[in-house]
Amino acid sequence: MKKEQQYYEESKAMRDYMEDMSQLKEQSFTIYDRFTLPNDDVFIEQLKQANVHILAITEDWCGDAMINNPIIRKIAETADVEVRTALRDADTDLIDRYLTNGGRAIPMYLILNEAGEVMTTWGPRAPELQQLVMDFRATLPDKEDPTFDQAQKAIYEKMRAQYVEDAKLWNYVYESFKQKVAPSL
């Protein structure tokens, strides 16, 4: 069985992954270009001094990855931390080690130390975004309803639009990532 560090070594840098995206690329880059890190030198310096690297388990069709990847990339670049990407569906053995409520939810970020051991994980979304998703899903008809698929598609489009337009959501991602990662550094 491959270790997380081997997945990391075999994977693509986040910047290259984002350049090569075939779905949600424009939205991801809009967030990347517009997101400004909060004035938080302490966390960035902690991250920089910890000598860590990050493996993101992701896919380019994922709306949560669309918002999280650009923000985590910006944090990592500021702290001189390398982020690489492993595709969830290319080898499900990796994501199966990091299930969320029994599911293969992405993106999932593995914070690795110098030895390639997992120090902590973060993902798939900040609690405030989880609540937003739950609120949107609460408006859906039953799955047996003939309009379910159309309604679900419309909700996903609405969520993605809000992810791109609402900078407050980006700060939730930043704060959630910081709260989870900082104690393990």
Radius of gyration of the chain (CA): 16
pLDDT at 167: 97
10 pLDDT more than 90 = yes
pTM score of the predicted model: 0.96
The band of 40, judged by pLDDT with boundaries at 50, 70 and 90, is confident
CB 159 within 8 A of CB 132: yes
CB-based burial of residue 137 (10 Å sphere; 0-12 exposed, 13-18 middle, 19+ buried)? exposed
* Residue range 155-182, pLDDT digits in tens: 999 999 999 999 999 999 999 999 999 9
Pairing of β 83-87 and β 53-58 = parallel
Q: Which CATH class is domain 4-124+177-184?
A: alpha beta
Q: Which two tokens stand for residue 63?
A: 């709306």
* Residue range 102-148, pLDDT digits in tens: 999 999 999 999 999 999 999 999 999 999 999 999 999 999 999 99
20 pLDDT more than 90 = yes
Q: Residue 26: CA atoms inside 13 Å, Cβ hemisphere, count?
A: 1
Domain ranges of the chain: 4-124+177-184
CB 18 within 8 A of CB 62: no
